Structures are given as structure tokens and as C-alpha cells.
Structure 1
């Protein structure tokens, strides 16, 4: 009786080429596509002036600039700075007597949003100065200055996204080593081993990231709030990955691996700079943005920002769901584990509890 028919080498080579092309398409959409199609779309900014006086009319005229690229909020200086602290806007143009204009930005806001807002608000202030000079050549030019709240270093701008990416990759490697190493040794990791892997990865990777933060910039705060948030993010990532690896086995790597590439391309942007398709399909749910933006607020001394609470709730939900899958005695998960742990020489599986 003849054995199973094998594909010809040429046909298999063609299949391999098609698989490579499909991977390139997917990665192109997930990474470079988001960057190549980025453009400002209703970026939230504010213009403020004293509640009463002629500057209110000037502020109203300024808010008409920018077309669909900017979404202006007409406010008072106090309310404008509060909106900036809450990350409701990415920058504030404060109009004052003199005449003067101050572009106010914050280091606690995503750098991509800050950069666009600062450029747009500086351009609006310069246009205002040009209009004033045209109306009255003898009038003094508008003095424009930039003020940064919660100033941030280069390391501080990089650290939130870098920490999130390192946590994801480190936890993924830990889960893959447990899965593939157990398969190599003919073991079936039990509930205890999986929980130890999740918690151990959370503790160790938190320590690694904290060490890098101190190495990159010793002035970055590493209080219990920052360390606790890092630990929550790392254990949430580890639990989610461990759950998928238990359900799908090594096939889960085809999902978890490419997700890492989403971090710099999508989570590193503010949604108003992304194509609407990327904003809805990727940015809206990617776990990196919740950890990165929450950590950014904590590192820059704004723990009351809404994204800190949002990050805690989302990461805690991921942790709970992942742990439920990890400890749940499901038949499907057990079948996948036993199949992948079964070695060609039929070594008897030994449970690790």
C-alpha cells in the first residue's frame, strides 16, 4: 500500500514563495502602511484668551484656521491648561496683551501629537502676527514663545513605548520557551507551571525594565505607582500570551509575534494622525497604547490623567481573562498541549504541577 502522496519540490517551493508574499502583505499593512498614510485629521488644540476683552474676538478668528486638520477649542487660559493636563487637547495657544502669544505643550502628551500641535499653533501665532502687521504697520510684532509643562527628556519620550514593547517580547519569549521546551522534553506543563511562568515573567521583566529606565535617565521616577503599573502590564501580557499558547499551541506565535510590530507603527501615534482604517482596526484595541500612555502619564507626574485609569482597567481585564484561560481545566487546551508535547520517539508525557 503506497504511503501518502507528497508534493513535488517545485510545487512546495511555489507555496513557500506565496507564503512569504502573504507575510509581506500583512506586515506592510500592520507597520509601514500606518506610517505611510499618516496625516493630521482634526487634531485637538485650543486657543485661549481672557474671558472679556478684544482678545476673545481674535481668538475666535484664530480658531477658524487649519481647516479639517485641526479641531479648535475656544477657552480660557485656566481651562485650556486643564484640558492639556487631561490630554483632551495636544496644545494650547494663549493670547495675551502686549501683544503676545504663548504656545503651551506638555511632556505628558504623546510626542507625535505634541509635535503636530506645536507646529500648528506656532504657525497660527505667526499668521496672527502677519495679519496684525498688515492691518497696522506701526503695530509691534506679536511675540511668540513656547512653554512646556512637565518637560521630558529624550529617554522619557522613548521609555513608555519601549517598556511596553520589551514587556511584550520578554513575556512572549518566556511563554514560547515553556511551550517548546516542554514539548522537547516530553512534558505537559500543568496549571502550577503556567502560573509560575506568568508571575515569574511579570516580576523579572518589571525588574529589567526598571533597570533600563534608571540606565537611560536616572531622573525618571520609579515609585510604587510606576513599578506597580509596569508589573500589571507585564503580567497582563504574560497571562494573555500564556492563554493563547495554551489554546492554540505554537500556532499562537503567528498572532502574538506580528502584534509586536504594531507597537512602534500604531501605538506610537496619536489616533488623529492615523488613517481612519488603522484607527478603527488597530489603534482602538492594541494593548500597547494602554500601557504606553498610562506609563507616560505616571513618568511625567500626571497620575490623574484619564489614560492611567483606562490602562489599569484594560490591563487588569487582560490579566483576569488570561489567568482564567491558563487555569481553566478545558479539554481543548489539554488536547493541544498533549499533542504538541508528544515527541516522535513517543516519550511518555509527565505533568508538571
Structure 2
């Protein structure tokens, strides 16, 4: 850093700063496209690898580095989505998007460029309605092209002309892709409950689970509620969704009986009230909820340790946790 700048370096520095500053936007985009922080970090790292592989002259010839980075990252994500379908068909049990904590609860994680970085998700993911678990799960049902077109246009407000260049289709085709994605969302999702109201239901759910009060649990669950768990074949869990309020309540009581000493913590999961289960101080499950009319309609329980990195002390191997 103490080396005198090369001739012309001062002219390039603002561009370099702009390139580095794009990282947060790219991570936000890639996570929404892929539903996995690990895959998003890999995609952004590959994007920067391609940028820095170019010569100084090639970089300076690019009129808008931010647009170039977004285009490359989106195309990388499009390729990843194409291959992800095959990988997820081989996945043991259900695949649930990787849950993210609130910035005050973030415990660390690797960086997209391989270097040290403050454990602050503000540099990673902005938590809003476009990353709540119900939204991400519906995105998983879309084709890769639908997902990319919808996220770029409806979430990040890119005009269809730019989306078309990224996706490799016409603007009209991209408009149709985004429209199809919107229909999927509207057909799948009931209006989201206000966060404050959801927090109260989740708290009552936690207390009923801790008390092993099966009647209270059934009362808090919609009769047609569904619980899906993701262990990735790495930890024990149900491989198929548990359906119906009675069966879910019985299963939760069974878990409580099998794991004495389980600690339940109220935490923000992808921007909405959720629960974290810890055993001996180690985070073992992160649960996200969807509500309608004051009752829980969906529970997504992530138990795959590889998806719990941001919830652990060291952010890598999941051995350390906190009691909150």
C-alpha cells in the first residue's frame, strides 16, 4: 500500500473501487437466484476471477463495470441453476434454501473472494420480502430462465432489454418468463402475516413445544399444515413432508422426548420470525414459518450442517454455537 502509484493508476482507482463496491449487490442477486449462500459466494468469486483475469486495458474498455459484473454473475447463476436440478434430484430428502440470520445474529462465514471479512451480513444479504423462505421455496419451482428473468426485473428492477441480453432471449420472451413467475408466486402464496403478528404466534408455538402441550400445538397449526425438513442425508430427519396439524404436533413432541435439553430460541430467519434449536450450545436446526389467519401453515426445518454455517460461532464447521 506504500508503493507509489504507477502512471495512470490514479485514473484507474475510481473504477477499481466501483468494481469492489459491487460485491454486495452481486451477493444479494446471486443468493436470490440460487437460494444458497455458499453457491452465491462461489458465483461471485468466479465473477471476480473473470474480471481480474482481464488485462488493465480490457477492464478500462468496459464502459460500466457494474453492468458487466451483473451480467457475468447472472449468467454463471443461470448455469448453476441448470446443473442444480440434477444435483437436487440426487439430494437425500427435501432441499430447502439456505436460511439466513438477522445481521445482529450473524456468526461469520467465508467470503466470496477468499479473504477475511467482518462478520456482517449487511455486506452480504439485504433481508426483505424477496428472501423470506416462502418466497424462496416458490422460486425453486421455476425454470432457471423464469427465475433469473423475474429476479432481475421484479426484484432488482432491470429493464427487460437488459434482462434479455443477460438471459439470451428477446425482451418479449423475458417479459413472458417474468409474468409466468409472477403467476406461480400468486398461486402458491397467501398474503404474508405482519412480522409483529407472526412473532407472537412463533413465540406461542415455542412455548407449547417446550411444554410438550400437544393440544396447544394443534391449535396453533392450520389443520392442513405441512412441515418439511432438510437434513441432506447428514443428520437424521424425516425424508418426506409431515402433513396435518395432529401429525406435526406428535412429531414435535417425539423430537422433544428424544432430545432432552433441547433449547429453543426466537430468531429472525430470512427476515421473518423463526426458531433456532440448539443442543449443548450447538445450533442443530433453524426453522422458518409461514402463517395465514394467525395459524402456522408451513414449517421449513433446516438441519443440514452445511447450511447452518452463518448460525455457528466459527461459521465453518458448525462445532461452536451460542445460547443467545
Q: TM-score range by the shorter chain?
A: under 0.3
**Structure of larger gyration radius:** 1
TM-score by length of 1: 0.24
TM-score by length of 2: 0.25
Q: In proportion to residue count, which structure has more helix?
A: 1
